[in-house]
Structure 1
Amino acid sequence: MATQTEVLKFLMQTAPDYYSGDDLAQQIGVSRTAIWKAIQSLQAAGYSIESRHGLGYRYVANNQLSAPVIMAGLAGPVQPKLITLDQVDSTNAYLKRLAVTEPLTEPTVVVADTQTGGYGRFGRPFYSPSSTGVYLSIGLPIKAGAPFDPGLLTTGTAVAVAKTLDQLFDVTVALKWVNDVLVNHHKVVGILSEATTDLESGQISTVIVGIGINLTLPTGDFPVDLKQKAGAVTTELTVTRNQVVSTLLSEFFTSYQTYTTGDFMADYRRLSMVIGQQVELKTGATTITGVVNDIDATGALVVQLPTGEVQHLSSGEITKVNLLTGGYRG
């Protein structure tokens, strides 16, 4: 496995150029036969590695999720522990189980090709077909007494996702408070933050931020009950899923260093689709109707009720937005 990782590393560094087998063997300090076996294993694992007589081997990026490729593309102050899975019930659920058996001591990311039991807020199922999306969860250890703000973490994550899509795709992104990301008036990203607590202290010990992105339309389109509201970022991928994950994690961890300051809120307001709009919001058993005046520095929704009273709402769900323009009716 170590030889495979080193071979992949060298080929990625020299891509799209070829790298000779003899040079690879010399660089890594193994036999030419070991290089050949490593190439065979990498190809069997789904990596696209081309060989050409007289030139050697070269790496060609593809849609196969790969921890080494994702890590090689990371920029920023944090290098998390990264786990890639072909299939899982839910990346959030996986991390919650992991945090119980092995308390997290460093940021840990789980990325899966598909989820069989992905879920969003209020336990709603999140459709997670293979090959067409990015499904990941970020586990963040929280030290006792350390500042933590769930509202700002969720809104900061939404901005990190929006910046990622803006960098990699020619799309216009809008944010529906608090955790929905829309493209072309359809939801393309869901964000769910959850926490686990220390049994002895009762304090939050780990926060898990789940992000599901519909990059392209699945084969056969979305299920009937999702087609009206769900959509995809693009009709054709021009970047790999590894690039999407690397860019997203780089944006997330850069923002996470200072997220409690709310220094991203100007971007969140700029991208918001609800400021100035009439909304219907459900918080607990109460339904509130009013016009969104602003989103305050803590990420709370500032809503003016028909009576003229202004409320700051830090939790709840917008169940209806009446836009003056555009096609969104969710």
Structure 2
Amino acid sequence: MANQTEVLRLLMANAPEYCSGDRLADELNISRTAIWKMVQGLQTAGYSIESRHGRGYRYVENNQLSVAGIQNGLDITPAVQLIVLPSVDSTNAYLKRMATRTPLTEPVVVVADSQTAGYGRSGRTFYSPGETGIYLSIGLPVTTDQPLDAGLLTTSTAVVVAQTLRQLFDVPVELKWVNDVLVNHHKVVGIMSEGITNLETGQISTVVVGIGINLTTAAFPSPLQSKAGAVLAHPTKVTRNQVIRQLLRTFFERYPSYRSGDFMPLYRQLSMVINQRVSLKSGARTYDGVVLDIAQTGALVVQLTDGRVQEFSSGEITKVNLLTGQYHG
């Protein structure tokens, strides 16, 4: 029996042209009255569908997130299971619960309009209001023939997000090691990878890559106002479905080869910390020095204040004193 999703897919496939009620009814083998009721249901759910006498119905892209909207024109390999939720505590937490119950055998992407308990590194809260942001997590099965390189996967994802934003919007994008994406010197994207261990083997069986994008978020809680920002300070005709579609397309194009580090030249180009003085927290210690480079492995190469050169494969830059520019964070 035909359902609203099938009607929506047909309208999307014909957009921006109108599709007659007769044609929809014939293709789905249901009555025109049933088509009319389903279109009404889609409109009530927030989809923008125009109706014109003698011409039928037309789908118009809007900011409503949907599986059909994201999949429309998305042609990627391998096949991806896509879940879209109106609200969730955290897309990462949702996927971790899902993968803990049943190990993943294919990539799964969870998208939410809002998060009630979004989080980042060190348990920090990730502000996740509805309608203005993109909150998604990608769950990937890990196998012995495709082992996980967490550092390169995180840096690769940062490049994927930066490329997506540069392709869709005219904004200056920079990367702060390891995975903060900045626009106009404000953090607009958070990325966090988490592994799930198989209790029987003791090996990581699934990795979850969480991505939060402040697309048009205009107001932040006071503790975040000085550092957080949005990709855009104005509304955009580019929908969230389009952004997610482009991001997933780029991510899965790069994923098979991310372990080679072939994206690192672009990561270095986008980096805002090379040749800058930084404070870096790694483990229980804080180090000060000048960033010389980012190694092919994604490690940060720092000349410390005592002259020694040291590589850091993990840690967090807590302060950047730009020798040029206006960033203060």
- Which bracket does the TM-score occupy, shorter chain normalised? over 0.9
Residue-by-residue CA offset, 1:77-121 (whole Å, 9 max, x unaligned): 233100001110000000010011121111000000100100000
**Could you tell me which amino acid in structure 2 is paired with residue 241 of structure 1?**
R
State whether structure 2 residue 280 is matched by structure 1 residue 278: no
Report 1:224-303 matches (<5 A). 224-235=222-233, 236-303=235-302
Q: Which deviates the most, 32-41 or 189-198?
A: 32-41
Cα offset for 1:325?
2.1
Structure 2 matches for 1:1-330, cutoff 5 A? Answer: 2-218=2-218, 221-235=219-233, 236-330=235-329
How far does residue 36 in structure 1 lie from its aligned partner after superposition?
A: 1.3
Q: State percent identity of aligned pairs.
A: 67
Q: Quick check: 1:82–1:109 contact (8 Å CA) kept in 2? A: yes
Shift of 1:194: 0.3
Q: CA RMSD in A?
A: 1.1
1:271-309 CA distance string (max 9 Å, x none): 000001011000010111111111011100011112221
- Counterpart CA distance in 1 for 2:103 and 2:147 is 19
5+ long unaligned stretches in structure 1: none
Is the contact made by 1:195 and 1:208 (CA closer than 8 Å) also made in structure 2?
Answer: yes
> Which amino acid is 1:176 matched to?
K
Question: 1-side partners of 2:217 and 2:8: how far apart?
Answer: 30
Q: What displacement does 1:26 show? A: 1.2
Q: Is the 8 A contact 2:179 2:190 kept in 1?
A: yes
Q: Secondary structure, in 3 states, of the residue corresponding to 1:104?
A: coil
Q: Do the aligned partners of 1:73 and 1:247 also contact (CA within 8 Å) in 2? A: no
Query: Which runs of structure 1 show a deviation greater than 4 angstroms over 4 or more consecutive aligned residues?
Result: none
Secondary structure of the equivalent of 1:135?
strand
SS at match of 1:273: coil
SS of equivalent residue, structure 1 residue 206 = strand
TM-score by length of 2: 0.97
Deviation at 1:145? 4.6
Q: 2-side partners of 1:167 and 1:151: how far apart? A: 25
Match of 1:257, SS state, is helix
Shift of 1:147: 2.2
Deviation at 1:238, TM superposition (A): 2.3
- Separation in 1, partners of 2:113, 2:295: 36
SS of equivalent residue, structure 2 residue 148: coil
Partners of 1:2 and 1:226 lie apart in 2 by: 47
Gaps of 5+ in 2: none
Distance 1:242 1:130 in 2: 14
The count of aligned residue pairs is: 328
Q: Is the deviation greater in 232-241 or in 116-125?
A: 232-241
Q: Deviations over 1:123-177 (max 9, x none)?
A: 0000001110000000001113532200000000000000100011110100000
The answer to whether the 8 Å contact 1:75/1:250 transfers is yes
Contact 1:180 1:190 in 2 (8 A): yes
SS where residue 4 of structure 2 aligns?
helix
TM-score by length of 1: 0.97
